[in-house]
Structure 1
Amino acid sequence: MPRLLKLAVSIFFVSFSLSVSAARPQLPPAWDGSPARFDSRTYAYMPPVRIVAQDEPGLISGCDLLLESGNGQSDLQNARICVLRSRDGRRPGLLLDFGRELQGGLRIVTGMPADNRPVRVRIRFGESVSEAMCDIDGVNGASNDHAVRDFTLALPWLGTVECGDSGFRFARIDLLDDDRELHLKQVEAVFQYRDIPYVGSFRSSDERLDRIWATGAYTVHLCMQEFLWDGVKRDRLVWVGDLHPEIMTVNSVFGYNEVVPRSLDLARDTTPLPGWMNGISSYSLWWIIIHSDWYRYHGDRAYLAEQRPYLTALLRQIFGKIGPDGRERLDGTRFLDWPSSDDAASTAAGLQSLTILALDAGAGLCDALGDAALAAECRTKAALMRNCPVGDGGEAKQGRSLMVLAGLADPAETDRDYISKGGSNGFSTFYGYYMLRAMAAAGNYEGALERIREYWGAMLDLGATTFWEDFDMAWLPAGRIDEPVPAGMRDLHRECGAYCYKGFRHSLCHGWASGPTAWLTEYVLGVGVVEPGCRRLRIDPHLGDLEWVEGTFPTPYGVVKIRHEKAADGTVKSRVETPRGVKAELVKHNR
Structure 2
Amino acid sequence: MILKYRNSLVLIVFFLSLCTESTLAQKATWIWYPGDFEIWLGNRMQNRRTERGSFLPPFWKMDSHYVLIDFHKDFELSEAEVAELYVEGQYNVKIDGKSLFGYPDKISIPAGKHRISLKVFCQNNVPAIFVRGKKVISDSSWLVTFEDKEWIDQSGKASDQSGTSWLNAAAWNFDSPSSPPSAFKLAVKPQAAVKTERSGQSLMVDFGKETFGFLKLQGLKGKGTLGIYYGESREEALDTARCETLDKLHIGFDKKKDTIHTLTRAFRYVNIQMDPGMSLDSVSMLYEYLPVEDKGNFRCSDEEINRIYEVSKYTFHLNTREFFIDGIKRDRWIWSGDAYQSYLMNYYLLFDSASVTRTLLALRGKDPVTSHVNTIMDYTFYWFMGIHDYYEYTGDKTFIRQFYPRMKSLMDYCLARRNKDGMMEGMAGDWVFIDWADGLSKQGELSFEQLLLARSLETMATSAAIANDKVNAAHYNLLASELKKNIFGKYWNTDKQALVHSYVNGQQTNNVTRYANMFGIFFNYFNDTQKLAVKKHVLLNPSVQKITTPYMRFYELEALCAMGEQPYVLKEIKDYWGGMLKLGATSFWEEFDPGKKGTEHLAMYGRPFGKSLCHAWGASPIYLLGKYFLGVKPTSPGYGTYLAEPELAGLDWMEGTVPTPHGSVKLYCSKTEIRISGTEGTGTLRIKSKTKPLCKGAKIKALENHVFEIQIIRGGTHTIQYNL
- TM-score w.r.t. structure 2 length? 0.64
1:443–1:502 distance in 2 versus 1, CA, 3 Å: farther
Correspondence for 1:386:
484
3-state SS in 2 of match to 1:198: coil
Shift, 1:366, TM fit: 2.6
Query: Where in structure 2 are the equivalents of 1:545-560 lying within 5 Å?
Result: 545-560=650-665
Q: Deviations over 1:540-588 (max 9, x none)?
A: 1122111211101111211221111113xxxxx3211111x33211112
For the Cα contact (< 8 Å) 2:550–2:618, is it kept in 1?
yes
Correspondence for 2:186:
41
For the Cα contact (< 8 Å) 1:335–1:341, is it kept in 2?
no
For the Cα contact (< 8 Å) 2:212–2:318, is it kept in 1?
yes
- Give, in whole Å, the separation in 2 of the partners of 1:175 and 1:584: 62
Correspondence for 2:356:
260
- Give, in whole Å, the separation in 2 of the partners of 1:98 and 1:432: 30
Q: Name the amino acid aligned to 1:342.
A: L
3-state SS in 2 of match to 1:460: helix
1:155–1:225 distance in 2 versus 1, CA, 3 Å: farther
1:176 matched to 2:293: no
Shift, 1:182, TM fit: 1.2
- Give, in whole Å, the separation in 1 of the partners of 2:444 and 2:531: 16
Counterpart pick for 1:154 among 235, 247, 251: 251
1:201–1:345 distance in 2 versus 1, CA, 3 Å: farther
Larger proportion of strand: 2
Counterpart pick for 1:514 among 602, 619, 635: 619
Counterpart pick for 1:587 among 683, 686, 696: 686
For the Cα contact (< 8 Å) 1:326–1:387, is it kept in 2?
no
Correspondence for 1:362:
460
Larger radius of gyration, structure 1 or 2?
2
Query: Where in structure 2 are the equivalents of 1:61-460 lying within 5 Å?
Result: 91-110=200-219, 117-118=222-223, 120-137=225-242, 142-144=243-245, 149-154=246-251, 156=253, 157-163=255-261, 164-177=263-276, 180=277, 182-184=279-281, 186-269=282-365, 272-322=368-418, 325=421, 327-329=423-425, 331=427, 332-339=430-437, 342-344=440-442, 348-388=446-486, 389-390=490-491, 392-393=500-501, 394-407=511-524, 410-422=530-542, 425-460=546-581
Q: Name the amino acid aligned to 2:674.
A: S
Correspondence for 1:18:
none
Correspondence for 1:492:
600
For the Cα contact (< 8 Å) 1:245–1:513, is it kept in 2?
no
Shift, 1:373, TM fit: 2.9
3-state SS in 1 of match to 2:273: strand
Shift, 1:454, TM fit: 0.9
Correspondence for 1:76:
none
- TM-score w.r.t. structure 1 length? 0.77
Unaligned runs of 5+ in 1: 1-25, 57-90, 479-489, 568-572
- Give, in whole Å, the separation in 2 of the partners of 1:454 and 1:244: 25
Q: Name the amino acid aligned to 2:275.
A: L
Q: Name the amino acid aligned to 2:458.
A: D
- Give, in whole Å, the separation in 2 of the partners of 1:232 and 1:127: 10
- Give, in whole Å, the separation in 1 of the partners of 2:334 and 2:549: 20
Unaligned runs of 5+ in 2: 1-6, 13-85, 90-179, 493-499, 502-510, 690-723
Cα RMSD over matched residues? 2.7
- Give, in whole Å, the separation in 2 of the partners of 1:460 and 1:92: 33
1:414–1:155 distance in 2 versus 1, CA, 3 Å: farther
For the Cα contact (< 8 Å) 1:123–1:153, is it kept in 2?
no
Shift, 1:337, TM fit: 1.6
Shift, 1:213, TM fit: 2.1
Q: Deviations over 1:152-193 (max 9, x none)?
A: 45273321111142111111122222xx25140x31121100
1:405–1:183 distance in 2 versus 1, CA, 3 Å: closer
- Give, in whole Å, the separation in 1 of the partners of 2:532 and 2:573: 19
- Give, in whole Å, the separation in 2 of the partners of 1:555 and 1:531: 12
Q: Name the amino acid aligned to 1:420.
A: L
Shift, 1:245, TM fit: 0.9
For the Cα contact (< 8 Å) 1:96–1:171, is it kept in 2?
yes
- Give, in whole Å, the separation in 1 of the partners of 2:439 and 2:295: 37
- Give, in whole Å, the separation in 2 of the partners of 1:336 and 1:249: 20
Correspondence for 2:675:
575
Q: Name the amino acid aligned to 2:609.
A: F
Q: Name the amino acid aligned to 2:187.
A: T
Shift, 1:36, TM fit: 6.7
Say how many residue pairs are matched.
493
Q: Deviations over 1:398-442 (max 9, x none)?
A: 333223334555333223222233399424211111101111232
- Give, in whole Å, the separation in 1 of the partners of 2:525 and 2:421: 16
Shift, 1:513, TM fit: 2.1
- Give, in whole Å, the separation in 2 of the partners of 1:334 and 1:418: 22
Larger proportion of helix: 1
Shift, 1:236, TM fit: 0.8
For the Cα contact (< 8 Å) 1:346–1:395, is it kept in 2?
no
